[in-house]
Amino acid sequence: MSTEARYDRMLRDAALRVTRPRRAVLAAVHAHPHADAETVMTAVRRDVGAVSHQAVYDVLRALTDAGLVRRIQPPGSPARYESRVGDNHHHLVCRSCGAIADVDCAVGEAPCLTAAEHHGFEIDEAEVVYRGLCPRCAAAPVS
């Protein structure tokens, strides 16, 4: 089965109609892990031509709601999207350039940590973000 056919299948299985923008956005998210909407939009347009700003946002939302993509919202940077879903993995974020890398979760399913005091909250997820410098930024001369 071709990659394209696989994306079509994923959309149909999620009860989503197969459209050119949807296929292209899904492909772009797969091709560019942790890309922001802007990057997805550029990739989509290079791939299939004109697609509106709004269509990209709508599709990203539909795919996110359907669980086909995951939205990550690092403070101070636009939302990022990725195709690795359902494995409860975590992220490494570079303080300097914003680069993001995946870190497998030791446990693999949410919530993978338990809070000391839960204050009555019903906790269903523990998100871990490791912050530091990526190899490139660590090596770079002091700016």
**Residues in contact with Zn ion by the rule CB under 5 A:** 94, 96-97, 99, 134, 137
Least Å distance between CB 23 and DNA?
Answer: 9
Q: 88: part of which helix (H) or strand (E)?
A: none
- Identify residues 63-102 at the interface with Mn ion (CB under 5 A): 82, 102
Residue 39 and residue 30 in contact, taking contact as beta carbons nearer than 8 Å: no
Gyration radius of the chain's alpha carbons = 17
- Pick one of 23, 126, 141, 142: the residue that binds a copy of itself (CB under 8 A): 126
- The Cα 138–Cα 25 span in angstroms is 33
2 binds DNA (CB under 7 A): no
Q: Which stretch binds DNA (CB under 7 A): 27-35, 71-79, 87-95, 114-122?
A: 71-79
Q: Is residue 14 close enough to count as binding DNA by CB under 7 A? A: no
Phi, psi of 21, deg, nearest 5: -60, -40
